[in-house]
Structure formats: structure tokens, C-alpha cells
Structure 1
Amino acid sequence: MTTTTMTRVTSMIGAALLGLTALQANAAPEMPPIPDVQGDVVQADGDFKIKFSIGTTQSGAQYRGLEYFEKIVEQRSDGHIQVELFPGAQLGDDLQAVSALQSGTLEMTAPSTSPLVSMFPKFALFDLPFLFPTPDVADQVLDGDIGQQMLDEASTNGLVAIGWAENGYRQLTNSRQEVTAPEDLEGLKVRTMQNPIHLDIWRTLGANPTPMSFAELFTALEQGVVDGQENPWITIQSSRFNEVQDYATETNHVYTPFITLVSERFWSRLPAEYQQLLRDAAQQMGEYERHVGRSMNDQIKQDLADSGMQITELTPEQVKAFQDKVAPVYDNWRDQIGGELIDQVRAASQ
């Protein structure tokens, strides 16, 4: 092959790669711009570094929120606090990251609440089905007295909890058939987290819940080890589940928040001024991250539909059929979680 021919081939390959990159970029959901930082520079002594680990990927709303957090903290500390982001479970899964906070080898993480139930039993509240009928109700609870009580509960065991963000509503996908009623779930093998309430929900609905790690899920769906799974829309898209799942139902059956945690060992070394800066930044990050995730949902659903996935939106009557079917789950867990707490949350949705 001559040098000229090699150059042409190289150029063609480069152009093809650029074209593929452009297609991938066009396919990615468009995120709202990161806001400008508001507020004066915070004056305090010392220089600090924060390693911030999350399990989700860079393509999700959570990472976008972390970028805003990084921007706020670095600008308002005038560079005296540097934030380094580690997405995609590079430093371990949610429980491993929390353990690293407790030992002081990691400064921050933001897991979903579900894996933390064994450590904080009241967090099982967030796994109850259809507890938050709308995002506004979720915001009202998390940003109010109940949310603060939960942050206080989590500020133990070597951790300091400073804010909430959103993992979002979980939706059902499967490879067998359209699901519009609980009867359609009979015998369906649905991958769930290793979470006792989630297992209870799907058994009560008539499905066959199958716990497994998220890392194994795509292959399990592809090979038919399980028929379906349940995750927020953005996770369904970023994980390419539409390639191995033909049907999706917008069930909104469980709303899961992210909780922003700091290592108590690191927190105790921060001046009070910087502690308040982190609290402020976590609150602003949470508000922005929720906005990002919610603004992307309609676009993601359309993208999934365009890819060939059949998406079913349930009527209020169909949702009620699912709610009625899982009512026993509340009775099963009322004493363990706390009936008064459950009633407080339910009152917020009336």
C-alpha cells in the first residue's frame, strides 16, 4: 500500500469515527446547562481535596449534578477545596463507597437509599410502592421536616448526611409482552435489587423476582435468564436495555432518592464555614439534578420509542389496580418502618 493510499484510508477511518461520535452525541439526551455559581467567596483556613464517588455513569443526571457541585465548591472556596469526581463505581459500589467514608479513605458519595436499609432501617420507607404519587410530593417530603429527620438519622456511624437528590421513579421493562395490569406479571422473571421490600412488591404482584447485581443484568436479559427489570428511564437508556427488551411500562412504582454523604472524619477537619458551603452546594446540586433528570424523561422515552421499544403509559384506573394489588406490602412493613412515619408521608400526598 502506498503512502498516499494509507493516508486516504486513515482519513476515511477518521471521518467514520467522527461520524459515529457525532451520531452518538446526537443520540444522547440534551441536558440543561450548568447554572452560574451564586454567592460570595467563603473565607476559611486550610486547603482540602474531596474525592466524590458515585455508581452511575457520566451520561446520567447525577453526574451532571456533581459537575455543578464541583463548580460551586471550587469557585466559592476560591480553589481552596478541590473536587475530583469518580463516576461509574470506579472506587466501588454504593456500599463499598459508604464503607470507605466510614474508614476515612473517601470523602463523599451519593448512593440511592435502597442499599442502605440494613444500616438505616427507616430508609425502607423509600422502597414502599406508590408512596410518592408525584415529583412535587417527593420534593415536599425530602425538603421538609421528614427529609431532615432522615438526614439526621443517617448522620451517624461515621457519616454526615447533607442533602438529597433524585434517582427517580422506577419503570418496568420486559421481553415477553405488554404489561397493563397485575395479571400480566404472572410468572414474569423480574430482576430486582437484593432488597426485601422490592422482593415483596414483585411477589405480591405475581411476578418471580430475581435478585442479581446490576453489572450482570444486561447479559442476563440478553440470554433470557430474566424476562425483565425495573429502573428509571435514564438508566434504561444509558444501559441500552432497549436492545434486549421490547416492552416498557411507565409504572412509577417506586421513587428512590440519592442521599449526599460526607465522611465524618473528613467533615470534622473542615472549618465551619466550609461545612456550610458543602451543605449549600449539596442543596443546590440536588435541586439542579432533579431538574435535569425530569427534563430529560420525555426526551428519553421518545428516543426509546424511536428505537423500537413499545412504551405503555398507564391510565389512572390501571395504576389503581397495581396500587390495590400491592396494598398488603404496607401491612407487612408498617411496624418495622414505623406507622407514624408512613402516615406522615401519605398525608403529604392528600
Structure 2
Amino acid sequence: MKKVLSMIIAATMALAISACGAKNETPAAPTTPSAPAANSEGLLGASSATVRFKVGTTTAPTGHYVKGLQEMQRLLESKSGGTMTLDIYPNSQLGNERDMMENVGMGVQDMVLSSTGPIPNFVKEFAVLDLPYLFETAEDAYEVLDGEVGESLLAKLDSQGIIGFGFWENGFRHVTNNTKEIKVPADLKGMQLRTMENKVHMAGYEALGSIPTPMAWGEIFTALQQGTVDGQENPLAIIESAKVYEVQKYISLTGAFYSPCVLMMNEAKFNSLTADQQKAFTEAADEAKDWQRNYSQEYDKKAVESLKSLGITITEVDTSVWAEAVVGVYDKLDSFGIDASLVKQIQDSLK
């Protein structure tokens, strides 16, 4: 597929060059780069930049993904003297996460900031991060994701023609619905719950008694409005910034899954940069990761109070009860393609 795509692009470029030559034998004088056409959210980088990276995400412009990308945009422009920037496309403008990841691997799209939800479809080892109650705190997650385990997982993305530049923050995922307050797993029985297209998450919610219904993020708001599903689960930053609270009046802080997101770039695109450009990009990505994690944690704290002020019922639960209810998921590691020794490595590192 990549070879066919390359041939098509090469042929198209050849025709374009030939056509230009036929019209004008005199080379055009160099011009100052013009401002790029604005996307619908107006999140494009400096017009003076000559190296631009098109990055997509599914979250809202006010969400924690985009805020982190805007910080990276600022850092990259600063470190490169204004010659490099990001053009940010939020709200699924470039497609859903799975499609964007595939496009990045093919080189059709430069970058994506995606939750880990679709990644096991391409690199099965990432499924270990989807296990319920694997991490108790965000700090536990950072310790693992910034260490040997995280580095080994990111390295496996090269099989898809992708380079991973670290784990950013999505957050602990909580359950919402518009019917009743959810306190214990039994309260979820028979409830149709939107989840990501992720076998481990689905198994977890099945163990909790709900009916998991995988659905792309771009479809969820309408599905909740129309009652196609009863509820959904996501980090507070997503629930608040995407205004899920407009159609969901109950939030239970179950935190069953810690969900990181990964900044990914087409490998050939990165390799085409000079050593100085690669250094500026890598530093900007790393610093933006730390900034975005801090921003996300602060966002969560403020979101709780903001949602309460809107009349949303927020329920704290005994997570030990919920963790006990999903312990059977750990007996099915083989069916998810998860290496039990990797799970043990993570658990031992956090003792």
C-alpha cells in the first residue's frame, strides 16, 4: 500500500512539474511563505514557519489534548527560531483515532495525539495499559510509562512506521449516565455503556454488569441524546470540555482505567529533519508532555467543582469494591495477547 501511494504521489508531482514548465520556462522568484489557510478551529501555527507538522486529535479545542499541543506549538516555534510549527486539527477533523494512527503510519498525516484505545489493534503489547485498576495514581502511571516499560512499548511502534514521543495524560476514566446515581457495580447491571473499541475495556465493563457498546468518539454525543446508549466513560477533562454533562447528569468517580495518550509521528517524516530540527522537536515534545500532565491534573480538580455548580451529581465510590469486581479480567490475559510477565513487571515496580 505504501509503495502504491508513493508511486501515485511521485507521478502526480512529475505531472505538476511538467505542467508548470510548459507554462513558464523562467523559474519563479522565491517568496515569503504566506499564512496557511485556517482550519475551522483556527489552531494553525506561525505563518512564517517553513516546516509544518499536521497533527490531529479527537478532542475539543478547549480540551487538555489541544492545550498540550498548543504548548508544544509554542515551544517548537521558540526552539526553532520560528522555522518549525504545528498545525493542530481538533474535534476529529482528520478522522477518528484509529484512522489517524493508520494515516500517520502511511505518511498521509504527519502526527496524531491519540488515546491508547486503538493502539493494540496495531501493536498488541499496548493492551497491558488497558487493564483495570493497574495504576492507583497518576504518579504510579508516570513512573511506569517514563521508565523501561514505557520505552519498550513506544519502541514497538516502529513496526508501523511510527515514532512515539512519550505518554501524555488522558486521565482516569469515570462513568456517566442520565438515569441514576451509580455507587456500586450492581448499579450498572443491564446499562448500555459506550466504550472505546478496546477488548480489555469491554471485558472490564462486562464484568461490572453493563453492556459495553464500542463507538467512535465523534458519534457519542448524538447517541447519548437519542438514548442509543445509556451512558459512557471518560476522564473528567473530556466530560467537561466536550460538554457531555449537557446530556448526562450523573458522574461516578470509578477510575477503573487509567488512560494515557501517545504523541505519534510518521517515522520517515522525522528522519527527514536535520539533526538540529530533530533536537528541537524532541525537546519541545518532552517539555510539552510534562506541562500537559500538570495541566490535566489541575483541570480535573477544577472540573469537579465546575460540574457540581452545573447541578451534576458527582459520586465517589469505594474503588476497592470495583477492583474486586473486575479481578477476573486478569485471568484472561492470553485472550487479549497480554504478556503476564509484563503485568508482573509493572506490579512489582510499584510495590
What TM-score do you get using the length of structure 1 for normalisation? 0.83
Q: What is aligned with 1:63?
A: 66
Q: What is aligned with 1:5?
A: none
Write the deviation string for residues 35-71 of structure 1: whole angstroms up to 9, x where unpaired.
Answer: xxxxxxxxxxx95221122121111111111111111
Name the stretch that deviates more: 226-235 or 276-285.
Answer: 276-285
1:142–1:164 contact (8 Å) kept in structure 2: yes
- State the AA in 2 paired with 1:179: I
The 1-side partners of 2:207 and 2:71 are apart by: 41
The 2-side partners of 1:90 and 1:225 are apart by: 23
The 2-side partners of 1:270 and 1:238 are apart by: 35
**In the alignment, structure 1 residue 135 sits paired with structure 2 residue 176:** no
Write the deviation string for residues 205-237 of structure 1: whole angstroms up to 9, x where unpaired.
Answer: 111112222222222222222211100111111
The 1-side partners of 2:243 and 2:51 are apart by: 38
Q: What is aligned with 2:344?
A: 343
The 2-side partners of 1:113 and 1:243 are apart by: 26
Write the deviation string for residues 84-122 of structure 1: whole angstroms up to 9, x where unpaired.
Answer: 221222122222222222222322111111111110101
Q: What is aligned with 2:277?
A: 274
| Residue of structure 2 aligned with 1:176, choices 166, 172, 179 | 179
1:114–1:126 contact (8 Å) kept in structure 2: no
**In the alignment, structure 1 residue 331 sits paired with structure 2 residue 331:** yes
How does 1:44-63 map onto structure 2 within 5 Å? Answer: 47-63=50-66
**In the alignment, structure 1 residue 77 sits paired with structure 2 residue 80:** yes
1:70 match: secondary structure: helix
How does 1:106-185 map onto structure 2 within 5 Å? Answer: 106-185=109-188
The 2-side partners of 1:204 and 1:82 are apart by: 45
Q: How many residues align?
A: 302
How does 1:1-350 map onto structure 2 within 5 Å? Answer: 47-314=50-317, 318-334=318-334, 336-350=337-351
2:96–2:217 contact (8 Å) kept in structure 1: no
Write the deviation string for residues 4-54 of structure 1: whole angstroms up to 9, x where unpaired.
Answer: xxxxxxxxxxxxxxxxxxxxxxxxxxxxxxxxxxxxxxxxxx952211221
Q: What is aligned with 1:42?
A: none
Identical amino acids, percent of aligned pairs: 32
What TM-score do you get using the length of structure 2 for normalisation? 0.82
- State the AA in 2 paired with 1:235: I
Write the deviation string for residues 280-305 of structure 1: whole angstroms up to 9, x where unpaired.
Answer: 21111111111111001121111111
The 1-side partners of 2:187 and 2:60 are apart by: 32
The 2-side partners of 1:109 and 1:215 are apart by: 16
1:137–1:348 contact (8 Å) kept in structure 2: no
The 2-side partners of 1:223 and 1:91 are apart by: 25
- State the AA in 2 paired with 1:331: D
Write the deviation string for residues 231-262 of structure 1: whole angstroms up to 9, x where unpaired.
Answer: 01111112222222221111111011111111
